[in-house]
Structure 1
Amino acid sequence: MTSLSRKDTLFVGLMLFALFFGAGNLIFPPFLGQEAGGNFWPAILGFIITGVGLPVLTVIAIALAKDGVQTLGNRVHPLFSVIFATAVYLSIGPFMGIPRGANVAFEMGVKPFLSTPDSKMALFIFTVVFFFLVYWLSLNPSKLVDRIGNLLTPVLLIGIALLGAGGLMKFDGNLGKTSAKYAESPVFSGVMEGYLTMDTIAALAFGIVVVTSIQAKGVTDRKSIVKVTLKAGVIAGIGLAAVYLVVGLLGAKMAGTYENGGQLLTVAAKQVYGQAGLMLLGLIVMLACFTTCVGLVVATSQFFVKLLPKVSYKMFVSMITLVSFLVANLGLNQIISLSVPVLIIIYPITIVLVALSFCHQAFQGSRLVYAGALLGTGIMSLYDGMKMFGFETDVLTSLFELIPLYTVGLGWVIPAVAGGLIGYTVHFIAKQTVGKTIVH
């Protein structure tokens, strides 16, 4: 078999949508809408660039690479490949991504219905059930398309459609006031907000899940796999963009001020559908978080099986699920406080690595180009992350502020381009003098 039917391709796309669509994807757009107000459209455009475009491109890049993120990393150096890939999978897996998903599912799907303010025991009981189901569904990744793409995703989409349509019909006023954050540079602010979805980093993992699912359907030719992945990425991207537009516009039209997107959606759901609305929102969030957590457990387990083949896949699923369960019980605030600085560090490196993979042939795959671009990116992103942890010096901050785009959170762009150009110059000179190309 060299290709998938349209039906199977559709279900792979729906599976990818569900894997991407966690609670953050539901919470951040309406809060963006509230803050952007009259500048909603340029702001949501920026959000879609990093929240849809980059993840889809990353999935395609992984499909093009033989061993996924490890192949991309090897183009820099084998040691970098192991360190970077491990950091990515641990951050989106048991240390941050999975526990955050479980916590958000509890906060929005269960906690509103509790009669007691002490929710620690309730969180413990909830996570026991939640992670047992995640563990069970993760044991057989070949059935993910059938279980998620065919069953859970349609229910998730119907729930989002009901909430979005009802909200837009009820809140049909003008767009709200624009906050200072979105007054000067709404597109760049939207781009930075799109970081928080973690989808570009998650795509490094989900790309392998998609490829494995396609192969399980009998497609083994690399070109056919990439073709199906591209189609599935487009389907998932259209779904994500549509949801972001609907819930973002809902946030822009709602009156009042809210602390976060979760609170905004909770109020909207209750005003539109009453208590049933809260139950509907809870179902949406629970499904969104659950499908994403399953995908992350599967992807992380598959990565570590390749890294440490003597340990079984089932053992890794067990360990990752257990660690995720333990971290989840630390609480949502602690997880978020640690995740943002780490994302600030990893995200730019991921973006540059994926961008270079699409230009690989243009510079003959030179390691020097990869090393130069990623060194420039890494210096900037590492300092930005350290600032979030409280490590900052006035001298370095003043120096970096001279770099274009630094004040809008994209200070790594110019150093990445400069580093890549320097690397290519050295590569070109070496090729002319020695007659060799330094490539992977």
Structure 2
Amino acid sequence: MSKRAKEEHNTTVAEQELNDQHTATQEQTATDEQSLQSLTLNHRNVIAVTLFSMIFGAGNLIFPPLVGALAGTASFAAIVGFIVSAVGLPIMAVLAVSFAGGFRQLAGRVSPKFATILAVVIILTIGPLFAIPRTASTSFEMALVPFIHDGSQQWLQLVYSIVFFAIALVVAQHPEKLAKILGRFMGPLLIAMIVILFVMCLLLPHGPIQPAKGSYAQGAMVQGFLDGYQTLDLLSTLYFGIIISANIRAFGVKKESRVRRETGIAGLATGVMLIVVYGMLGVIGTISGTLQPIDPATATGTDVLSNLTTQAFGSAGTVFVGLTFIIACFNVCTGLLSTASSFFSKQFPTVFGRKFSYRAWTVLFTFIALIISNLGLAQIIRLSMPVLEALYPIAIVLVLLALLEGPFTSKFRPVYLWTVVFTAIVSISQCAVSLTAVFGGHLTWLENLLNYLPFQQQTLGWVLPAIIGTFVGVIVQFVRGNRPVQQ
């Protein structure tokens, strides 16, 4: 090749490289512009319904009607309290985790070891120890118990739970297929079912609304707030926030500020849906309480809905609602089983020096949930409440501190540690007292000590210690000055 030809060739190559760079720059610019765009209305609806479906499970169906039935004439105040803890706190958790970049990053502001321990306890709570067993127990009580009259309930429950969990175990091996069912099918189906029940309630003749019963007679709003713990939604949404953020990014929103904005929009939209649905379920429970009295000591919420569906729809209606519960609980079960097993397979890939895979964790958790589910729904609820009394206050203060990150806690980082420590001392002590009482014992000395705290009668004795811990954290920061925080 001649010198002139080589020069022309080199010039052509250089021009082509410049053109390629220009094209790449244009493509990157287009990508950046695209990443700045907000979600379309359709995508926002999909995200909101997906979040609703992830949140709304068995507990969300049975507890609002129970609150309405027990609160009676005080049901409005009780449902307001319930909504604060069952809607407000979970939606704030979605935002807090999204802003922090994940639950580990959020809890790690206390300490990395604390983040791991709290994550394990929460996953076990929303997984094989309480939430997963409750899906089988709830669906069994709604679908089959109304038709069992020969004393064979115990054996039928065992058979049902074996079949239920065996199928869930198989489906949980493919968690990537769950989102479409939850977001596009189960959410709309459950909402439609609740709307039908609500309309039928309004048309159903009933007697006068009953006065408040049990603990609702003394403080309906506070008791409603505490019963909101039983949905487990605050704990579960500590993990859902980052999942929702990832789904938003998958739609093409890349800029972090836009992701947070869309997460907030999804959270608010889901919150509105939950408020409307809980309001309808509260009315359903209030009317059901006029049809047949329930015992505050033994009622679980399933009997409240069973009484109503029997009156409004007869046996066919009970079958329809029972099947809906089975589908809803099954999907939640497989989702929680996948979440718990994924977490443990990454956190603990080996056990006693031997590899423990995702599949092995699903088998272990399924077996544990199978055993616990046969204790019965009422017993599971009684055992779970003390644990929730320990975890919920800690989760609440973490979420609130995270939402104050910009104006406050970023400047006073020790506040995280000291607020959580002071809160945990009281909440874990309350758990010990309540759990001992469940098994028929008494920790009188500890109970008397806790009774000195303000609001302890409402199980909110942790509030003042949390405030004190916040002040201690601020003082520690002032004493420490600008020295870095050691974690």
Q: TM (normalized to structure 1)?
A: 0.91
The answer for the alignment partner of 1:159 in structure 2 is 193
The residue aligned with 2:469 is 419
List aligned pairs for 1:131-142, cutoff 5 A: 131-142=165-176
Query: How far 1:401 sits from its partner (Å)?
Result: 2.0
Displacement of 1:301 in angstroms is 2.8
Aligned residue in 1 for 2:83? 48
The question of 1:227 aligning with 2:267 is answered no
1:74 CA drift (Å): 0.8
Whole-Å separation in 1 of the counterparts to 2:83 and 2:140:
27
Query: Structure 2 vs 1, CA of residues 37 and 331 (structure 1 numbering), >3 Å: closer, same or farther?
Result: closer
| Structure 1 range deviating more: 257-266 or 208-217 | 208-217
> Would you say 1:103 and 2:137 are equivalent positions?
yes
Q: Is contact 2:178-2:331 (8 Å) kept?
A: no
Shift of 1:221: 3.9
Matched, 1:10 2:65: no
Alpha-carbon distance between aligned partners in 1 of 2:59 and 2:474, rounded to the nearest angstrom:
38
Q: Secondary structure at the match of 1:177?
A: coil
**Structure 1 match to 2:451:** 401
- Judging changes above 3 Å, is the alpha-carbon distance between structure 1 residues 114 and 400 closer, same or farther for their aligned structure 2 residues? closer
For 1:86-235, what aligned pairs fall within 5 Å after superposition? 86-114=120-148, 116-171=150-205, 174-179=208-213, 181-235=215-269
252-261 vs 185-194, which moves further: 252-261
Q: Does 1:375 align with 2:421?
A: yes
Separation in 1, partners of 2:255, 2:334 = 27
Once the two structures are superposed, residues 218-270 of structure 1 have per-residue CA deviations (whole angstroms, 9 ceiling, x without a partner) of: 54443333233222222322222112111211222341311322212111101
Q: TM-score if structure 2 supplies the norm length?
A: 0.83
Task: Name the structure 2 match of 1:323.
Answer: 368
1:266 corresponds to 2:311: no
- Gap change, CA 1:226 and 1:385, over 3 Å in 2: same
Residue 293 of structure 2 aligns to which amino acid in structure 1? T
Alignment length, in residue pairs? 436
Letter in 1 for 2:70: E
The yes-or-no answer on 1:354 pairing with 2:426 is no
Higher mean C-alpha displacement, 377-386 vs 251-260:
251-260
Which residue is 2:434 aligned to?
A: 388
Superposed CA offset, 1:44-95 (max 9, x none): 11110001110111112122222x2211221101111111110000111011
* 5+ residue gaps, structure 2: 1-33, 351-355
Per mean C-alpha deviation after superposition, the further-off stretch among 33-42 and 112-121 is: 112-121
Question: Identity percentage over the alignment?
Answer: 34
- Tell me, yes or no, if structure 1 residue 295 matches structure 2 residue 335: yes
Greater relative CO, 1 or 2 (CA 8 Å, sep 6+): 1
Paired position in structure 1 for 2:111: 77
Measure the CA separation in 2 of the matches of 1:72 and 1:105.
34
Instruction: Name the CA distance, whole Å, in 2 between partners of 1:244 and 1:50.
Output: 12
For the 8 Å contact 1:60–1:226, the answer to whether it is kept is: yes
Q: Which structure has the bigger radius of gyration?
A: 2
Question: Contact (CA 8 Å) 2:68, 2:283: kept in 1 or not?
Answer: yes
- Secondary structure of the 1:93 match is helix
Q: How far does residue 196 in structure 1 lie from its aligned partner after superposition?
A: 1.5
CA RMSD of aligned residues (A): 2.4
Name the SS for the 1:75 alignment partner: coil
Contact in 1 for aligned 2:401/2:409 (Cα 8 Å)? no
In structure 1, what is the equivalent of residue 410 of structure 2?
364
Query: Counterparts of 1:293 and 1:123 in 2: how far apart (Å)?
Result: 16
SS in 2 for 1:389: helix
SS at match of 2:128: coil
